[in-house]
Structure 1
Amino acid sequence: QENAAYPSGLCAERVALFHAGHKYPDIAVVALAIAAATNGSQVESISPCGACRQVLLEAEQRYGKSMKVLLCGTKEVVVAESAESLLPLCFGAKYLKDD
């Protein structure tokens, strides 16, 4: 669903989460693995864009459970223990305070 004419497409991360949320609305996502290829070869490292990070975070917040995010590169797989760890200083209900 990606497209070079950003933001005309949707990243694979969001498509996967939206599909899972539609098919299994009462089940929290436990983990999401992300990998990418260019010209037929896997890229050395990958991470989700900001929009995807926000969607991942909101899925965590909705279910009240952390979601592991596996960033799969050619040399290593980096495991983020939560989507929140990928989006420091994020906005959302948890961070809103009444003054």
Structure 2
Amino acid sequence: MIDRDTLISAAKDAVARAYAPYSRFHVGAALGFADGTVVTGANVENASFGLTLCAETAAVARAMNDGWRSELVAIAVTGGIEGVLAAPVAPCGRCRQVLSELAQLGGTDPVVWCVGAEAVGEYRLSDLLPNAFGPGSLV
């Protein structure tokens, strides 16, 4: 099982790698797998705003490219203006869908830690995206 503090620390470290010259809102995400593996991502903005990658999406792409398609048990997300943490950050709707697909591939419902400077919100992914569309919806 993934240690909460370890995963939150990894997400905070990822914030430093964000490329966010337009919004200045730096986000880091860390995905925790059942065997203790941690995969991180940071947001990468683009002058063509629609091509921007959120931290969670970057982490999922990295995980899937490294062969991680199951056993997602925990997610930590954090960020703020210029990387300064303030209120807890939650995954956007698009990221909730991307995270849900990875979770559904392994039949998990990961805990999501939304990390701020003073507080950490704790949710299940299914609570953040109830009745999610996924691979099973296409049969």
Task: Please give the range of the TM-score, normalised by the shorter of the 2 chains.
Answer: 0.7 to 0.9
TM-score for both structures, normalised by structure 1:
0.79
Q: Does residue 25 of structure 1 match 2:36?
A: no
Contact kept? 2:86, 2:118, Cα under 8 Å: no
Taking a change above 3 Å as real, the CA distance of residues 58 and 27 of structure 1, as seen in their structure-2 partners, is closer
TM-score for both structures, normalised by structure 2:
0.59
Counterpart code for 1:69: V
Tell me how far 1:96 sits from its aligned partner.
Answer: 7.3
1:84 alignment counterpart:
126
Contact kept? 2:63, 2:69, Cα under 8 Å: no
Q: Does residue 34 of structure 1 match 2:88?
A: no
Counterpart code for 2:77: I
Runs of 4+ in 1 over 6 A off after TM superposition: none
Structure 2 residue ranges without an equivalent (≥5): 1-43
Q: Does residue 52 of structure 1 match 2:66?
A: no
Aligned residue pairs: how many? 96
Q: Measure the CA separation in 2 of the matches of 1:52 and 1:90.
A: 12
The percent identity for this pair of structures is 34
Contact kept? 1:44, 1:75, Cα under 8 Å: yes
Structure 1 residue ranges without an equivalent (≥5): none
Q: Measure the CA separation in 1 of the matches of 2:46 and 2:117.
A: 23
2:15 alignment counterpart:
none
What do you get for the CA RMSD once the two structures are aligned? 2.3
Q: Per-residue CA shift, 1:38-69, capped at 9, x if unaligned? A: 13421212111111000111111111012111
Q: Measure the CA separation in 2 of the matches of 1:76 and 1:4.
A: 32
Contact kept? 1:71, 1:79, Cα under 8 Å: yes
Instruction: Give the structure with the larger strand fraction.
Output: 2
Q: Secondary structure at the match of 2:75?
A: strand
